[in-house]
Structure formats: C-alpha cells, structure tokens
Amino acid sequence: MSKVAIVTGAGRGIGQTVSRRLANEGWSVAAADLDAKAAALTSKQMADEGGVGHAIEVDIANAQSCDGMVAAAIAQFGRVDALVNCAGISKPGDSLTYSKEDWERMIAVQLNGAFFAAQAVARQLVQQGTGGALVFISSTNAEAAFPRRAAYCAAKAGVAMLTKVLAVEWAAHRIRVNAVGPAYVETEMTVRNIAAGNVSREAIERRIPLGRLAQPGDVADAVSFLLSDRASFITGHSLYVDGGWLAYGYL
C-alpha cells in the first residue's frame, strides 16, 4: 500500500511540482488548494503520468477547512502519512502604508495556515499511531530581511520557529517536522513580482552564488528527501535551497 501525502498549494508552482514528484515516486497524493480547478488539474496531471492523485479544496487559513481537508483525504485513501505545506501568497508593500487587512491576510495564510494544516494532519497521525513527516515550505526570508516584506518575513520566521517547536513536541509520536527554505524560485508568483518591478531578475541572479533562480524541482528534491526514510533522524531542521544566498555576505 502506497503512502499518502497531503500537499497544500498544490494547484501551481512549488506545490504542483512537489505533488507530481511524490506521485511519480509512488505516493498517493491529496492535492489541496484554495483554487479547486487548479487542484483538479494537478490531480489530472498526476494521473496522466501514472500516479495517484485526488483534488481537495481547502482554505488553510481556516482551521475547520484544514480538518475537512484531512477528512477528505482519509475518505479517499484511508490514511495519511505526510503533509507538505506549500500554500502561500506574496504582497510586498511599504511598511508605513501597509494595510491592516494585508498584514492580517499574510499572517493568516503563511503562519496561521501552516499551523492549522500541521495540527489537523498531526492529529490524524497520532490517531493512526503510525508516525509521519511534515514539511513546511519556508523561505530564506526566515533568516534574511528584505525591505517591503515585513509581513512575509515575519511570517516565515514564525514558520522556522514553529518547525522547531512542533518537532520537539511531536517527536514522542514519531512525527518528524522540517522546513525547506528556498531563495527566489522561478514560479508564476516570482515572475509576476519581477514583471511588477518588485524585484529584478538580473539583481537576483547576481546575488545568488550559483547564478540562477531556483527551479521548483530543486525544492521538490529537498522535500522528497525529508519525507523519505533517508531523513529518518532529521527533525526540527530548516534546509535552505538557496544557491548559497544566505552564506554569501561579501559585497
């Protein structure tokens, strides 16, 4: 019987790539997204590639919706073994004028949602008594401060600490909790930010020692490793897939 992973934010970008990678590796994947049509497309892609997928609509900022996501996965597959939380949003803005509504939405999705999704899956893992693995998609912004990104950076720093706390707290249940923190990844969201002038592709590539943006597949590689038995003694860790971004401090 194949293991079952829930992937949030599965409709596009990193989440879509992670879903397809896991399906190709033999996982049954519950592709969860706020955009039900996008989740269904990812599920179809997995099936077309010979994998097993099932689309679920979820708003991870809503705890009850996360509970429903897990219930839907159980109804379809009978068990859950892993969560990969890829859901996220981006809305840069000047901290002097950043609205209360934008701040609250960013924290609701990036931080609250990470906790609600993890909590819902962990409760199921404890009930099953099987142990499991959770992976949050974090960011180099958990460590590196960017202007106009106060809400995003604060949320991702919260996810990095959440990773450590949950890893310690849930170790007794054999639940491992880790994070993968990419630098800029060439996704639709990044391309939109480049087009809007929020960031410069040339400047990013100059700043990254390996000289390129990360690809979604680079992140999927790290996620696959952290979910696997090869990482059975790794928990509470943030793995930065950043091309050397955080290491580089020379001007």
- Which sequence positions are flagged as catalytic? 152
Segments of 120-201 assigned E as strands:
132-137, 175-182
Report how far residue 88's alpha carbon sits from residue 234's, in angstroms, rounded to the nearest whole number. Answer: 24
Report CA-CA distances (Å) from 17 to 45, 54, 119, 123, 200. Answer: 10, 15, 24, 26, 24
Report how far residue 207's alpha carbon sits from residue 203's, in angstroms, rounded to the nearest whole number. Answer: 6
- Determine contact, residues 142/238, Cβ cutoff 8 Å: yes
Q: 193 exposed, middle or buried (CB, 10 Å; 0-12, 13-18, 19+)?
A: middle
Report how far residue 46's alpha carbon sits from residue 66's, in angstroms, rounded to the nearest whole number. Answer: 22
Give the residue from 200, 166, 165 showing the smallest Cα distance to 184: 200
Give the residue from 64, 60, 39 showing the smallest Cα distance to 136: 60
